[in-house]
Amino acid sequence: MPRIYQVVVHGLRGEKMIIDLCNTEEQMKSMTVLQLKKKIFQKLPEGVGSDDLRLIFGDQALDEDSTLLCKYGVQHLSTIHIVIKVPGGGFPEKGDGGMGDKDKSQSMEKLAKF
């Protein structure tokens, strides 16, 4: 009997989502971070982009889209956390008050509903 490989995703407010990844161990071994992101973002509110969010597994950020999930140690029923990317790390542009990209405010409002 085929097994459905899944991960548990904790959202921004602590809510849980179960994401179905694939049906076989071979598919699970070839699943990439990008494929996982696509499946997660299908369940998020419209307008929330992958540029605004970061996936965390254990103490690792799943940043490299082409990396296999198994390289990070992600397995059936592993827990993935979604966090908001915080703008910063560089010098503020003249006049922005150090707040980074002001266009992200609308995305952040949509994330707050999630």
For domain 5-84, give its CATH number from 3.10.20.90, 3.40.720.10, 2.40.10.10, 1.10.275.10.
3.10.20.90
**DSSP reduced 3-state for 62:** coil
Task: Determine the Cα–Cα distance for residues 67 and 70; give it in Å rounded to an integer.
Answer: 8
Q: What is the pLDDT along the chain (114 residues), one digit of tens a residue?
A: 678 999 999 988 889 999 999 999 999 999 999 999 999 988 877 766 667 789 999 999 999 999 999 999 999 999 999 998 887 766 656 555 555 555 555 555 655 555
HSE (side-chain half, CA atoms, 13 Å) at 2: 11
Instruction: Supply the pTM of this predicted model.
Output: 0.72
What are the structural domain ranges in the chain? Answer: 5-84
Task: Give the C-alpha separation, 114 to 101, whole Å.
Answer: 21
3-state secondary structure 80-107: EEEEECCCCCCCCCCCCCCCCCCCHHHH
